Amino acid sequence: MKTQDVAFYSEGARISALWHTPHEFEGRLRVVVQGPGWLGLKDAKLYQRYHQALTDAGFGVLIFDYRGFGDSEGEKMISPSRQLQDLRNAVTYLTTRDDVDADAIGVFGSGGTGGGNAVVLARVDPRIRAAVSQLPVADGRDWLHRMRSESDWLDFLGALEQDRRDRVKTGKGRLVHPREEIMVPTQERRTTKVKADVDGRIPTAVSLAAADEILEYRPIDAANGLITPLLVVAVEGDATTPTDHAVQIYEAARGPRKLIMQRHTTHYAAYDQYWERVTPAIVGWFDRYVRNGNIVVSAVDRTSEYIDYLGDD
């Protein structure tokens, strides 16, 4: 895999990106675009195995830091709506490149809002030929609620309301740690080393107002009736991104769809435990559906409506 630092602009902010390609290729590449998952960064080692497999299969991969994160310009905000703008601008950037087939672009998203954003982009951007959503959030309010006891949830809602009042009266709101005070990490998240290479570079203070956007974040609405081919990857009994969120997204889609359920594992352990089996399925999905769009046939492929269980053989 050959990697090049590239940049594009999103709403006036310079976005830092990595452009991965096969070492040798001719003509124009089919491409997969990726915005990182919850608090993720473009150069996380976690993503490299997927990018290597995709470039080995002849794809280009563009992954970037959202505005305000990593090496990208902009205010440090957790904002799914801004992230969607960044993703759409990333797709537009790809269409300007001479080495890209602009009619053959897919989207990959992994982890929480990363997985959810892939679904939303596939719904709103007709340039996306196929999507893979790994461990997604379907409903932000339900996600934040289920991380907390009921008393903690009510306290959280009270704190949000007080922050809204403070912002309109003073123009300033609270700054909070996004992992500890918006998302509440599981014990596995506190001990996992899967993202240790980038954990020290994420913002540690963001506006509590970000929680308002997460409460309104609903990729399930984008999935409802989606005809873009969609592969969903889930973990059975997931304590970080609820399993039923992934299943709801899969069931709501109406185009070619597939659900991979990883069993006898956990949210973070699954990345290592099953990557040798899941990664070829991801590559195969893109290989099947990310094709030049000179002729477009819209149809529901019922033959792909089945569930793959990856667990003990």
Q: Is residue 105 part of a domain?
A: yes
Residue in this structure with the two tokens 């490149």, named with its chain if needed: 97
Provide the domain limits for residue 24. 2-139+217-310
Q: Is residue 165 part of a domain?
A: no
* Mean predicted confidence (pLDDT) in 131-139: 97
Residue partners of 290: CB distance under 8 A and separation at least 6: 30, 31, 32, 59, 104, 105, 106, 129, 130
- What would the pLDDT profile of 24-44 be if each residue is shown by its tens digit? 998 999 999 999 988 889 999
| Window from 86-100, 172-186, 273-287, 288-302 with minimum mean pLDDT | 288-302
- Helix 80-95 with 113-124: angle, nearest 10 deg: 60
Phi, psi dihedral angles at 33 (to 5 degrees):
-105, 145
Rg, C-alpha atoms of the chain: 19
Q: Is residue 150 part of a domain?
A: no
Q: Is residue 273 part of a domain?
A: yes
Q: What is the total count of domains within the chain?
A: 1
Instruction: Using alpha carbons, select from 208, 112, 78 the residue that is nearest to residue 156.
Output: 208
**Residue 178: what pLDDT?**
87
Question: What are the Cα distances from residue 54, in Å, to 1, 22, 58, 163, 282?
Answer: 9, 9, 7, 44, 9
**Residue 270: what pLDDT?**
92
Pairing of strands 206-207, 230-235: unpaired
Confidence band of 293 (pLDDT split at 50, 70, 90): low
Confidence band of 169 (pLDDT split at 50, 70, 90): very high
SS3 content of the chain, % helix, strand, coil (to 5): 40, 25, 35
- State the distance between the two ends of the chain, measured CA to CA, in whole angstroms: 32
Phi, psi dihedral angles at 223 (to 5 degrees):
-70, -25
Q: Is residue 189 part of a domain?
A: no
pLDDT at residue 107 is higher than 70:
yes
Q: Is residue 13 part of a domain?
A: yes
Q: Is residue 160 part of a domain?
A: no
Q: Is residue 201 part of a domain?
A: no
Confidence band of 188 (pLDDT split at 50, 70, 90): confident
* Maximum Cα–Cα distance across the chain: 60
CB atoms within 10 A of CB 212: 15
Residue 266: which CATH number?
3.40.50.1820
User: CA-to-CA distance for 62 and 55, rounded, in angstroms?
Assistant: 11
